[in-house]
Chain A
Amino acid sequence: AQSVTQPDIHITVSEGASLELRCNYSYGATPYLFWYVQSPGQGLQLLLKYFSGDTLVQGIKGFEAEFKRSQSSFNLRKPSVHWSDAAEYFCAVGLFGNEKLTFGTGTRLTIIP
């Protein structure tokens, strides 16, 4: 069965520091990969997605993610975080032709001044 793992439940980063959030998946085929962000008290918003092609994907708000097939990973990065990036981040994985997306358990990001 397909699965998504976000090994970090909570990460604290200083404002201006770099960020990397980890995501690993277990699938038989190359999946469709997503990162969503959830600000406090709000719904989820798409940050970026990967279907095929260039393995480095650019998203909104200065985020990027890199697909590494050999490591079954799709880690999210940002070179310099802002206080407004404090939120919960979800990695999600799907398969072509499937209606259902599988979400990871999320990583809560705290930004300290």
Chain B
Amino acid sequence: NAGVTQTPKFRVLKTGQSMTLLCAQDMNHEYMYWYRQDPGMGLRLIHYSVGEGTTAKGEVPDGYNVSRLKKQNFLLGLESAAPSQTSVYFCASSSRPGATDTQYFGPGTRLTVL
């Protein structure tokens, strides 16, 4: 039982390049989340999903897209990376709405955009 895994762990991009971050969970959770963590700002929600085939915007969705084609996977895409997207990205999942249930976090992806 791996819990929540994230791929890759580290990535360096040049401005304008694109990439996809993959999150996978093996707990059969309905809810999945993408956060970014920046110094002094805590975690901010980018997008989330309440089930397979659904996505919704969070607090800071601009510049990101997501897809949830399979229940166990939640992909975060950057179409044209900008230096402001340099951050640590965390994926999380929960069996019930995340505001009232335990969220299980992945180990994070450290992204640098030059």
A residues in contact (CB < 8 Å) with B: 9, 32, 34, 36, 41-46, 49, 51, 90, 94-101, 103-106
Q: Per a CB cutoff under 8 Å, which of A42, A49, A99, A105 touches B97?
A: A99
Contact A101–B42 (Cβ < 8 Å): no
A49's closest neighbor in chain B, by CB? Answer: B102
Contact A101–B90 (Cβ < 8 Å): no
A104 vs B99: C-alpha distance when bound (angstroms)? 14
Contact A100–B48 (Cβ < 8 Å): yes
Taking chain B's interface residues, is the majority helix, strand, or loop, or is none over half, making it mixed? loop
Nearest-neighbour CB distance to chain B for A63, whole angstroms, equals 15
Q: How many A-B residue pairs have CB under 8 A?
A: 67
A98 vs B59: C-alpha distance when bound (angstroms)? 14
Q: A42-B107, A44-B90, A106-B42 are in contact. List 11 more A-B contacts (CB 8 A).
A: A34-B102, A43-B4, A51-B100, A94-B100, A95-B99, A98-B97, A98-B99, A99-B98, A103-B43, A103-B44, A105-B42
> Interface size for chain B: under 10, 10 to 19, 20 to 34, or 35 or more residues?
20 to 34
A103 vs B100: C-alpha distance when bound (angstroms)? 13
